[in-house]
Amino acid sequence: MSKKNDLEFLDRLFERLESDDFINKTINEFGKEVKESIDNSIKNQGYDDLSQLVTSKIKSKQSMKPSTVDVSSRFKQDYENRLEYIVDSLQVIKYDPKYRGYYKEGHQEALQKCVSILSNDKTGYDKAEDYIDQELITFSHKHKKRDKFFEGYIDGLQLMKEELRHSKAYMMAKVKKNLVK
Q: Does any domain span residue 57?
A: no
> How many domains does the chain divide into?
2
Instruction: Based on the fold, state whether residues 10 and 77 are members of the same structural domain.
Output: no
Closest by Cα among 103, 104, 125, 123 to 114: 125
Name the pTM for this structure.
0.64
Q: What's the confidence (pLDDT) of residue 1?
A: 41
Detail the DSSP E strand segments found in 21-128.
Answer: none
Q: What's the confidence (pLDDT) of residue 60?
A: 47
Q: What's the confidence (pLDDT) of residue 124?
A: 74
Q: Is 77 left (phi over 0), alpha (psi -120 to 50) or beta?
A: beta
Q: What's the confidence (pLDDT) of residue 112?
A: 93
Q: What's the confidence (pLDDT) of residue 65?
A: 74
Q: What's the confidence (pLDDT) of residue 26?
A: 74
Instruction: Based on the fold, state whether residues 77 and 40 are members of the same structural domain.
Output: no
How far apart are alpha carbons 58 and 156 in whole angstroms?
Answer: 28
Instruction: Based on the fold, state whether residues 35 and 77 are members of the same structural domain.
Output: no
Q: Does any domain span residue 50?
A: no
Q: Which domain holds residue 39?
A: 3-44
How far apart are alpha carbons 84 and 125 in whole angstroms?
Answer: 13
Q: Does any domain span residue 128?
A: yes
How far from each other are the two terminal CA atoms of the chain, in whole angstroms? Answer: 55
Q: Does any domain span residue 146?
A: yes
Instruction: Based on the fold, state whether residues 171 and 88 are members of the same structural domain.
Output: yes
How far apart are alpha carbons 134 and 90 in whole angstroms?
Answer: 22
Instruction: Based on the fold, state whether residues 40 and 111 are members of the same structural domain.
Output: no
Instruction: Based on the fold, state whether residues 40 and 82 are members of the same structural domain.
Output: no
* Mean pLDDT for back-to-back runs of 10 residues, the chain (181 residues): 56 68 69 80 76 64 66 65 86 80 89 89 80 86 72 91 90 86 69
Cβ(45)–Cβ(2) under 8 Å? no
Q: Does any domain span residue 59?
A: no
